[in-house]
Amino acid sequence: MKRKLKVIPVHVGIIMDGNGRWATKRNLPRIAGHKEGLKAVRRVVKAADKYGVKYLTLYSFSTENWKRPKEEVEFLFKLMEDRLRKEGENLHKNNVKVRFTGRREELPKELKKIMEEVEKLTSKNTGLNLVFAINYGGRQEIIDAVKKIIKKGYTFQDVNEQLINKFLYLQIPEPDLIIRTAGEKRLSNFLLWQSAYSEFYFTDVLWPDFNEECFYKALLSYQRRKRKFGGLIE
């Protein structure tokens, strides 16, 4: 296949959706879909690195996902913990810098611990910046930023875009491209502030079936976008 990508998005965000449907279609429990979804995570991390994407943010658990059955929520956290334990070293060897975004304090202790370990282990790496959004909500992120701003004693005159940016969970570039799998066309509280000028790519492919080819197609679609940011193109 031809690899004719000229413009590579610096930051790609992915709303990894459709694990449950993938499993249900096969008469499997939903958790089987989450397990299979992890394989897609591995494929996409590799692909992002290969195509020179600098930042990859993966929406892994939203602040609204607590509404799901307790068993599913617990399984998801266990799965993340287990994978991070197993893959941390491997990511480190591949020069990947891992970070997390979201309300960490509400997560299980063991998961938080391994998150901190992997973050620390990979903190000096200079390759792909991999961000897992866990217990993340865009509204919550803005609320948390506003709280910090007030606590620091900033005044009415101080408030502007730069100040809010400064108090978001992570100081990284905004997503150029946001991919959502499984046919749904909504943001579901993902990176609300940062997606103001993101390009969107939707595919019906269910997340566990997502592979390098699918990622490439999204990048190819991005090539054709005319980004204007409110201005005009020369």
Identify residues 13-32 at the interface with ligand IPE (CB under 6 A).
15-21
Identify residues 70-89 at the interface with Mg ion (CB under 5 A).
none
Strand 199-202 relative to strand 55-62, pairing: unpaired
Partner in contact with 195, chosen from ligand IPE, Mg ion, none, beta carbon below 5 to 8 Å by kind: none
**C-beta of 116 vs 204, nearer to ligand IPE:** 204
In single-letter form, the type of residue at position 66 comes to: W
* Residue from the set 55, 61, 77, 210 that interacts with ligand IPE by CB under 6 A: 61
Identify residues 185-204 at the interface with ligand IPE (CB under 6 A).
186, 188
Please provide the distance, in angstroms rounded to a whole number, between the alpha carbons at the two ends of the chain: 32
17 touches Mg ion by CB under 5 A: yes
Report CA-CA distances (Å) from 137 to 99, 101, 125, 131, 187. Answer: 16, 9, 27, 14, 10
Site string for ligand IPE, 72-91 (x = CB under 6 A): ----x---------------
204 is catalytic: no
Give the count of alpha carbons within 13 A of 81, CB side only.
13
**C-beta of 61 vs 215, nearer to ligand IPE:** 61
**C-beta of 17 vs 36, nearer to Mg ion:** 17
Strand stretches in the chain, DSSP E: 11-15, 55-62, 97-101, 129-136, 177-180, 199-202
Binding interface with Mg ion (CB under 5 A)? 17
Binding interface with ligand IPE (CB under 6 A)? 15-21, 59-62, 65, 76, 182, 184, 186, 188, 207
Active site residues: 17, 65
